[in-house]
Structure 1
Amino acid sequence: MIEHANRGLRTFVSIPLNPVAIYTLSTFIESINKEDNSRIRWVKPEHFHITLNFLPKTDPTQLYSIFNKIQQAATTFNPFALRLNTLRGFPHINSPRVLWASILGEVTTLKLLHNKIKSKLIPLGFLQEKQNIVPHITLGRVPSPAIENTSLLLKRIIPANFNFPAEDWYVTDLHYIESTLTQIGPVYKTIGIAPLNKVI
């Protein structure tokens, strides 16, 4: 399935979350906001995802070719299980500019799929990324003036051994997304959905 996109300058391949994972993360964010109405810029729950491949400066004329390559890669993988792990921060949880949820489960399969898509896109002019993928879900961004207060808040309300409730969900398809940056945050449009091989 594919829809036409007006502009495809910023696109990415994503893994969607299941409703339980979305609810878990949304509830977690609400619990932090109840403790402190911080200035963290939280990601909207409907935008939660795992970025598998980021494709900046995509040529709009290549959208269909790119999606075709994503479909080819997706059909060579069976559905695989992932689950939420814990809260982390970049560059560090004690001085976070970005808050994110780490992922457990069949992460090796996720990385293989990431590499498969990378190799499929080389003929279209996309260079191989040198850095390794770190699967995660971005939850929020912390403005510089709020970093210290956010760090103190997290230390106060989150146990050192904190983990999100663990429940596996199966990745059954990939979403190819166009991202348009606006003053009120990114606007996402689904270009196409590529199912994995439906054998579990």
Structure 2
Amino acid sequence: MADNIRIFTAISIPANITGQIVSHLPEWKTQLKFQRWVDPRDLHITLHFIGDTSISTISDIKQAMTEAVSRSSVFPLELSNLDIFGRKDQPSVLWLGLKEIPESLLQLHDKLGQSLHSAVGFTSETRPYRPHITLARKYAANETCTPEMLQSLSSPFLQHQTTFDVNRITLYRTRLGERPMYEPLVELELNK
């Protein structure tokens, strides 16, 4: 299976927003005892996780992405509070959410899923789409990770610029064990 690579499509986070996140990481890391923190160069919002795929399908995937972006225009996203997946006493993932999920994002997600299905037989997940930026994994503290704690740690971050325009989508390759772990393979711009 040497010709297979693990890939996903995503919205990359612009440098100014990544900088805002990075400036708050020392406080978050001190207060929230997660074992593995995401390299800031790997911050993104996943659109579709495609998984292990033959390198030979990349051109078909690029074509599917081209079709989806040709029917999508630039739109804004606004980041919101820190949140978790998993139990409060043992969360599996720390993430930043969106203030709201705009219809433009849902349409892009849907169009891309349909194009990928037509091009390479990709099947979207059946659970609802929950766009977010993963920050850390594997909580390792004894105290519960409460909503109040997450709200308190989010407040200083939300005083800064947290809105950005989504103007492109990226196809990433996962390189397990490397930093950064995600390598951009294809980047396509949305309509202005």
Q: TM-score surpassing 0.5?
A: yes
Q: Spell out, residue by residue over 1:86-132, the C-alpha distance to the aligned partner (whole angstroms, 9 max, x if none).
A: 00001145532110000135522111111111111123121232111
- TM-score when normalising by structure 2: 0.85
Change (3 A) 1:149 1:8: farther
Q: What secondary structure sits across from 1:135 in the alignment? A: coil
Task: Tell me by how many angstroms 1:60 deviates.
Answer: 1.4
- Whether the aligned pair in 2 keeps the contact of 1:81 and 1:105 (CA below 8 Å) is no
The CA distance in 2 between the partners of 1:8 and 1:85, in whole Å, is: 36
Per mean C-alpha deviation after superposition, the further-off stretch among 123-132 and 69-78 is 123-132
Output the CA distance in 1 between the equivalents of 2:61 and 2:150.
44
Partner of 1:128: 124
2:13 alignment partner in structure 1: 17
* Contact 2:81/2:150, CA 8 A, preserved across alignment: no
Q: In the superposition, relative to structure 1, how do residues 109 and 148 fare at CA in structure 2: closer, same or farther (>3 Å)? A: farther
State yes or no: 1:196 paired with 2:157.
Answer: no
Q: Could you tell me which amino acid in structure 2 is paired with residue 120 of structure 1?
A: S
Q: Normalization by structure 1: what TM-score?
A: 0.81
Aligned residues: 188
Q: Which runs of structure 2 are paired with 1:109-188 in the superposition (5 Å)? A: 109-123=104-118, 124-143=120-139, 146-149=140-143, 151=145, 159=152, 162=155, 164-165=158-159, 166-182=161-177, 187-188=181-182
Deviates more, 1:106-115 or 1:49-58: 106-115
SS of the counterpart of 2:22?
Answer: helix
Q: In the TM superposition, what is the alpha-carbon distance from 1:79 to its structure 2 partner?
A: 0.2
Taking the aligned partners of 1:161 and 1:99, their CA distance within structure 2 comes to 12
Aligned CA RMSD, in angstroms, stands at 2.7
The equivalences for 1:7-86 within 5 A come to: 8-33=4-29, 35=30, 38-86=33-81
Name the stretch that deviates more: 127-136 or 35-44.
Answer: 35-44
**Conserved? CA contact 1:79–1:197, under 8 Å:** yes
Q: Which amino acid aligns with 2:131?
A: P
Gap runs ≥5 in structure 1: 1-5
**CA pair 160-168 structure 1, distance change in 2 beyond 3 A:** closer
Structure 2 vs 1, CA of residues 7 and 114 (structure 1 numbering), >3 Å: closer, same or farther? farther
| Paired amino acid for 2:51 | P
| Change in 2 beyond 3 A, CA 1:8/1:188 | farther
TM-superposed deviation, 1:158:
5.2
- Letter of the 1:16 partner, please give it: S
Gaps of 5+ in 2: none
1:187 maps to amino acid: M
**Which region of structure 1 is more displaced relative to structure 2, 11-20 or 120-129?**
120-129
Structure 1 contact 42–139 (Cα < 8 Å) conserved: yes
- Greater strand fraction, Structure 1 or Structure 2: 2
